[in-house]
Structures are given as structure tokens and as C-alpha cells.
Amino acid sequence: MLLRPCSLAALALVALSAVGCGIPKEQYDRDMAALRQKSGVDLEAQRQAAEGARLQAEAAEKDRLARAAEELDRNKRALEQCTSKGGDATKNLATCQIERDEAKSKLDRVTADVNKVRDMLKSMQDAGKLQVKVERGFLVIALQGDILFDSGKSKLKEEAKPVLIELAEVLKIASGRLFQVAGHTDNTGLEDKNWELSIERAVNVVQFLIKQGGVDGKGLSAGGYAFYQPIADNATEEGRQVNRRVEFLLVPNLGELLNLK
């Protein structure tokens, strides 16, 4: 039992009373010494118990704070990682949006140029001087070969020149665009001859457009396809006549569309 100071005083009074009642002084001194020793032991035990409880509480609080700090650090890292990922995703999305808008703007410009050429050629098409169509992804301006050349010949006919002069004015307005002039034949005659004829006709048209029509040669090229790209049946005269033609292909600028360096 833990003895409080007040209890010790009470025992002392009891002991004094006992002395007054005739207890020998030596016994009284022994009893008081034992009483003081017992009281000191109990007080020390109480102090140690209190100190132990305090240390245990401090350790528990430190452990709680350490766990809280660790959880806070985990949450902070997770938030930073999430923010970083979200930031990258937002950045990538914004970059993609810009690139998409740029690509659409380029495509819109090309489409506008194509439509401009078609509008300028409408009167010539309505007059039957040429045909404007879209084939294999190209805007194609087709002139009937018999209007431009005699059968089997590559020299331009005189009546073809006014048509080409009128077409040259359109090509000059559409400067900056590349046109390939392509010659085509029917399937009669030797293959080698048809290759030569288709190429010579295309070259002669290009040279006339440059020299007589004033078209910048940087925007023109010439090619020949012989009879390998028919658009009608070569089994009939009408089909063969259609296949003998010269075409102007508006060539897309891949560097403009794809931003190639």
C-alpha cells in the first residue's frame, strides 16, 4: 500500500501516542525507521510507475507522428506523380490540337486552291474545250488528243494553240502549284512507238505553255503513259479516241501537307 505524507504523519502521531503509553524509545525508533523506509519505497515505486507511463505515452505519440508523416509523404508523392502525368497528358493534348489545326489549315488552303482552279476552268469546260475531273486523288484537266494532235503525230495543231493559251492564263494565276502534263495513247501500234508518242506530246505541250503561254517552267513537268492508263474501251473507235488525250494533273505539295524537311 502506498503511504501518503499525511498518513505518515498520522502514524507518527500514533507512534508518539504509543511512546506516551509506555512503549520503549528503542522500539519506537525502530518502528519509525521502518515506517520511513516503507514510505520511501512506495513513493519511489509511484514515481517510477509515473515516469514509465510518461515515457510510454511519449513513445506512442512519436510513433503516431512518424506514421502520419510517412502517410503525408506518400500522399505528396502520389499527388506529384498524378500532377506530372496529368500535366504531360494536357501538354500532349494541347500539342496534338495545335498540330491538328495546322494540318487542317494546310489542307483547307490546298482545297481552296483546287476549287479556285476548278472555278477558273468552268467556262472552258462548259464550252467543251476540256474536262475537269478527280481521278486517283488528283484534280485532272483533260484535253482530247485529237484536238491537239493529228493521229500518230506529236506536233501541235494550229487550232489547239488558242485553247492552250487560254489554259496558260489559268495556270499562271495558280502559280506555286505543280502540274504534270501527261500524254496517253490508245493501244494501236507498237508499244515503243506509243511510249515515245505519249512523252513527245506531253513535252511539246509543256514547251508551248512556257514559250508561248508564259507559264513558269518550275511549275510544269512532262510524262508519258503510252496506253497503260485507258479511261475507255480500246475495242471501239469511240473508246480509242477518248484514250488519246493529254492531261494536266494538279500535284499535291507533300512538303506542305506533311511538313517534310
Judgement on whether residues 67 and 11 belong to the same structural domain of the protein: yes
Q: Which residue among 56, 75, 108 closes a domain? A: 108
pLDDT in tens, 191-229: 999 999 999 999 999 999 999 999 999 999 999 999 999
Q: Is residue 1 part of a domain?
A: yes
Instruction: Count other Cβ atoms within 10 Å, centred on residue 192.
Output: 9
Judgement on whether residues 154 and 200 belong to the same structural domain of the protein: yes
pLDDT in tens, 96-119: 677 677 767 766 766 776 777 778
pLDDT at 163: 93
pLDDT at 256: 52
Judgement on whether residues 62 and 6 belong to the same structural domain of the protein: yes
Judgement on whether residues 234 and 186 belong to the same structural domain of the protein: yes
Q: How do beta strands 131-135 and 138-144 pair?
A: antiparallel
Higher pLDDT, 170 or 81: 170
Give the three cell numbers for residue 155: 506536233
| Cα separation values, 146 from 221, 232, 240, 257, Å | 21, 15, 11, 36
Q: What CATH code is carried by the domain that includes residue 137? A: 3.30.1330.60
- From the number of C-beta atoms within 10 Å of its C-beta (0-12, 13-18, 19+), residue 145 rates as buried
Q: Is residue 24 part of a domain?
A: yes
Judgement on whether residues 95 and 132 belong to the same structural domain of the protein: no
Give the three cell numbers for residue 33: 525507521
Judgement on whether residues 77 and 31 belong to the same structural domain of the protein: yes
Judgement on whether residues 191 and 94 belong to the same structural domain of the protein: no
Q: CB of 173 within 8 A of CB of 120?
A: yes
- Tell me which amino acid residue 191 is: E
* Domain coverage including residue 62: 1-108
pLDDT surpasses 90 at 146: no
- From the number of C-beta atoms within 10 Å of its C-beta (0-12, 13-18, 19+), residue 224 rates as buried
Q: Is residue 139 part of a domain?
A: yes
Lowest pLDDT segment from 9-13, 93-97, 155-159: 9-13
How confident is residue 149, by pLDDT bands cut at 50, 70 and 90? very high
* Number of folded domains that form the chain: 2
Give the three cell numbers for residue 170: 489559268
**Mean pLDDT rounded to a whole number for the chain:** 79
Q: Is residue 114 part of a domain?
A: no
Judgement on whether residues 100 and 166 belong to the same structural domain of the protein: no
pLDDT surpasses 60 at 12: no
How confident is residue 261, by pLDDT bands cut at 50, 70 and 90? very low
How confident is residue 254, by pLDDT bands cut at 50, 70 and 90? low
Q: Whole-model pTM above 0.75?
A: no
How confident is residue 253, by pLDDT bands cut at 50, 70 and 90? low
